[in-house]
Amino acid sequence: MRTVEKALKLLNFFTEQQPEHGLSNLARLSGIDKATVLRMLGDMEATGLVEQDTRSRKWRLGAGILRLARLREAAFPVTRVLTPILERLATETGETAHASLLSGRELGSVAAVESTRSNRVIMEAGHILPLHATASGVAFTAFANPEIRERALAGDLPQVTPATPTTRETFEPLVREAMTKGYALSDQAFEAEVTGIAAPIFGPDGFACGAISVATPSSRMTADHVSSILSALAPAARLATLGLGGHIPSHHKIAA
C-alpha cells in the first residue's frame, strides 16, 4: 500500500465513539510501526488534517477536515440534497434512514436521520460500511462499475458477525440477487439484531456511486414491513440519484 494511502487510512480509525487515539493504539489498529505512524501524523498535522491534544498527547481530526468538507459541500452539495429525502424516508417507514457514498474502497455514511422510536438503530456519523457486510454495500456492489464489482467480490471479506459472508461463494449470490430485485436486504451481517434494506444511488455514468438504506431492529422486520419500506425506499433512491446529478439506467427496477 502506498505511503499516502496508508497515512490517510489512519483517519478512518477516528469515529464518533472514539474521536481520539494515542499513538500506540493507532499503530496497533493499523498494523504499522509507531515511528512510521508518528511521521505520518506529523505530516498530516502540518496540513491541519489531524491535531494533538497538548495535555493528553492523543490525536484527533483537525480543523482542516472541516475546511475541506465545507469546500466539497459548496461545490457538490450532498447533505443539503440528501437530508430532506432521508427525513421523509424515516418518517414514512418509522425507521432510521441513511445514505452512503463510495469512499475509497468502502462506503462512507454521509447523512442519516434516526427513527424517533425508543427501540431504533443508531447511526454513527461518518460510519464506514463494508461492501460485503451491509445492505448498502451489497446494493452498491450489484450496480457498480464491473471493475469495482469484481474487485469487491475478489477482495478480502473479513467476518464481522456470524452472518457475514466471508467468501466469494457466499457474497456473490447476494449481489446477483440484488441485481435481480433492484435492492439488497442484509440481516445481522454487520451488526447483531439489525436488518438493513438498501437501494443504489446512481452517478452520472449510470453506475452506482452509493446507496440509500433503511435500518431497523430485526425483531420488527416482517414481510409486511419489508413491503412498506420498499414502497418508500424506491422513490427516495430515485430522488437521491436525480438530486446528486445521477442517471438511473433503464434496466433498474425495484421489485417489491
Sign of CA dihedral 67, 74, 241, 203: negative
pLDDT of 1 > 60? The answer is no
Q: Does domain 76-243 have CATH number 3.30.450.40?
A: yes
pLDDT of residue 256: 63
**34-46 and 23-30 helices cross at what angle (nearest 10)?**
110
Over residues 129-151, the mean pLDDT reads 97
**DSSP for residue 123:** P
Range from 111-115, 222-226, 244-248, 252-256 carrying the lowest mean pLDDT: 252-256
Over residues 129-152, the mean pLDDT reads 97
pLDDT of residue 220: 94
13: CB partners within 8 A, 6+ apart: 21, 26, 29, 30
Could you give the percent of the chain with pLDDT greater than 70?
A: 99
How far CA 109 is from CA of 102, 106, 147, 174, in Å, comes to: 9, 10, 22, 21
pLDDT of residue 15: 85
Over residues 232-252, the mean pLDDT reads 94
Yes or no: say if 134 and 190 are a contact pair by the CB < 8 Å rule.
yes
pLDDT of residue 53: 93
Domain with CATH 3.30.450.40 in the chain: 76-243
pLDDT of 152 > 70? The answer is yes
Yes or no: say if 218 and 194 are a contact pair by the CB < 8 Å rule.
yes
Q: What is the arrangement of strands in the sheet containing 106-113, beginning at the earlier edge strand?
A: 128-129, 106-113, 96-103, 208-217, 194-202, 184-187
Q: What is the per-residue pLDDT across 163-211, written as a single tens digit (0 to 9) for each?
A: 999 999 999 999 999 999 999 999 999 999 999 999 999 999 999 999 9
Give the residue from 203, 242, 238, 197 showing the smallest Cα distance to 218: 197
Task: Give the architecture-level CATH label for domain 3-67.
Answer: Orthogonal Bundle (1.10)
Q: Report how far residue 146's alpha carbon sits from residue 150's, in angstroms, rounded to the nearest whole number.
A: 6
Q: What is the per-residue pLDDT across 100-115, written as a single tens digit (0 to 9) for each?
A: 999 888 999 999 999 9
Q: What is the per-residue pLDDT across 48-100, written as a single tens digit (0 to 9) for each?
A: 999 999 999 999 999 999 888 888 888 888 989 999 999 999 999 999 999 99
How many other β-carbons are positioned within 10 Å of the β-carbon of residue 186? 27
pLDDT of residue 157: 96
180: Cα within 13 Å, side-chain hemisphere: 6
pLDDT of residue 5: 85
Domain with CATH 1.10.10.10 in the chain: 3-67
